[in-house]
């Protein structure tokens, strides 16, 4: 097993636990009869974390009614979100974009599983401890990325653009930016700064996609109740309500529009419908807190 507690990142607690549980959900989603997403590395990465209950979650058949997951229909949601971002990258490269940046890459395995075209470079940005954890885990699996994968070990709350450029990002070429499962766990001021920096590094034809939670504290509280935990997500990392009078999704979209980008918002319910999943019922109101924001530079 590979364990990691460097740089303040713990894959078995807090924000790290949410990323690991999402990987477990991807593993389960891939076993369904007509899977929206197929991630053969999800279960091995969860196993590498070394936490028994997470490993058990990842080993479920896909027909077990998601027993044990913190939020009902989590497998459905993670499958829809993962498919959305998979499609985002596939569409972007088909349109000629040859640079992709995954911010807060965590346990994302797209560099190893998507059908990348020749000439594409994928940059994975996350804390050094996260990068090293995944590198060691994939090395033990003896798998190679299907694309030119370049890791950038840095804290996104600090200067991450300089290291990214040193690794080869060319701001004069269009870029596909992805912030899946990241923005809700950062202070609002940091979220806005990241969007400003993305815009500054992007040429015409660049794209951006992220999921935004209107009240991540409500979801964190639900997870805490199920897990019997206290403060599962550090308050120093969660500040999604501090965007002023606007909802976080509106704030993110407006920030990009202020840089001349066009933007579009889609709700979780719309994603469920897009991928022919059962519609959300009244008892699944937590998902109504989630929006996916996409944008394109003119």
The pLDDT tens digits of the residues spanning 44-60 come to: 999 999 989 999 999 99
In a domain, 101, yes or no: yes
- Range with the poorest average pLDDT among 155-169, 182-196, 235-249, 257-271: 235-249
Mean pLDDT, rounded, for 271-284 = 92
Tell me the pLDDT tens digit for each residue of 121-153. 999 999 999 999 999 999 999 999 999 999 999
Note whether residue 193 is domain-resident. yes
In a domain, 2, yes or no: no
Per the domain annotation, does 42 fall within a domain? Answer: yes
What is the distance between the alpha carbons of residues 112 and 109, in angstroms, rounded to a whole number? Answer: 5
**Confidence category of residue 242, pLDDT binned at 50, 70, 90:** very low
Nearest to 160 by CA among 103, 240, 238: 103
Has residue 215 been placed in a domain?
Answer: yes
- Is residue 191 predicted with pLDDT exceeding 60? yes
Q: Kindly report the three-state secondary structure assignment for every residue of the chain.
A: CCCCCHHHCCCCCHHHHHHHHHHHHHHHHCCCCCCCCCCCCHHHHHHHHCCHHHHHHHCCCCCCCCCCCCCCCHHHHHHHHHHHHHHHHHHHHHCCCCEEEEECCCCCCHHHHCCCCCCCEEEEEECHHHHHHHHHHHHHHCCCCCCEEEEEECCCCCCCHHHHHHCCCCCCCCEEEEECCCHHHCEHHHHHHHHHHHHHCCCCCCEEEEEEECCHHHHHHHHHHHHCCCCCCCCCCCECCCCCCCCHHHHHHHHHHCCCEEEEEEEHHHHHHHCCCCCCCHHHHHHHHEEEEEEEEC
CA–CA dist 249, 240 (Å, integer): 10
List the domain range (segments joined by +) for residue 43.
8-297
Closest of 168, 181, 172, 177 to residue 195, by C-alpha:
177
pLDDT of residue 6: 42
Predicted local confidence at residue 127, as pLDDT: 93
Please tell me the distance from the alpha carbon of residue 163 to that of residue 170, in angstroms, as a whole number: 12
Whether the model clears a pTM of 0.85, i.e. scores above it, the answer is yes
CATH number, position 13: 3.40.50.150
From CA 71, how far away is CA 162, in angstroms rounded? 38
Q: Give me the pLDDT at residue 264, please.
A: 96
Our count of domains for the chain comes to 1
Residue 180 placed within a domain:
yes
Q: Is residue 31 part of a domain?
A: yes
Q: What is the mean pLDDT of the chain?
A: 88
Place 218 in a pLDDT band, splitting at 50, 70 and 90. low
Classify burial at 132, counting beta carbons within 10 Å of its beta carbon; exposed 0-12, middle 13-18, buried 19 or more.
Answer: middle
Rounded-to-integer distance, Cα 214 and Cα 48, Å: 32
* Whether the predicted pLDDT of 17 surpasses 90: no
Of all residues in the chain, the percent with pLDDT exceeding 70 is: 84
**For 25-29, 90-94, 185-189, which range has the lowest pLDDT when averaged over its residues?**
185-189
What does the alpha-carbon distance between residue 261 and residue 235 come to, in Å, rounded to a whole number? 31
Number of Cβ atoms within 10 Å of the Cβ of 115 = 10
Query: Is the residue at 3 inside a domain?
Result: no
């Amino acid at each position: 097993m590979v364990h990691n507690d460097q740089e303040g990142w713990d894959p078995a607690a807090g924000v790290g636990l949410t990323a690991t549980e999402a990987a477990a959900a991807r593993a389960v989603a891939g076993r369904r009869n007509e899977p929206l997403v197929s991630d053969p590395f999800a279960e091995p990465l969860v196993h590498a974390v070394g936490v028994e209950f997470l490993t058990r979650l990842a080993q479920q058949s896909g027909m077990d009614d998601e027993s044990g997951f913190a939020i009902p229909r989590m497998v459905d949601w993670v499958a829809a979100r993962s498919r959305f971002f998979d499609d985002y990258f596939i569409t972007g490269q088909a349109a000629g974009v040859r640079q992709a940046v995954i911010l807060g890459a965590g346990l994302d395995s797209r560099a190893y599983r998507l059908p990348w075209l020749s000439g594409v470079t994928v940059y994975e940005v996350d804390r050094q401890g996260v990068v090293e954890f995944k590198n060691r885990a994939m090395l033990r699996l003896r798998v190679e990325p299907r694309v030119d994968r370049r890791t950038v070990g840095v804290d996104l709350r600090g200067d991450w653009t300089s290291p990214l450029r040193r690794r080869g990002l060319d701001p004069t070429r269009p870029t596909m930016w992805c912030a899946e499962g990241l923005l809700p766990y950062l202070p609002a001021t940091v979220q806005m700064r990241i969007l400003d920096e993305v815009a500054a590094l992007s040429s015409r034809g660049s794209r951006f996609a992220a999921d935004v939670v209107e009240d991540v504290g409500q979801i964190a509280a639900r997870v805490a109740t199920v897990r019997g935990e206290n403060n599962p997500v550090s308050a120093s990392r969660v500040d999604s309500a501090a965007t002023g009078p606007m909802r976080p999704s509106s704030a993110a979209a407006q920030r990009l529009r202020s840089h001349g980008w066009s933007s579009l918002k889609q709700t979780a319910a719309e994603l469920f419908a897009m991928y022919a999943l059962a519609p959300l019922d009244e008892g699944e109101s937590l998902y109504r807190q989630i929006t996916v924001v996409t944008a394109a530079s003119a």
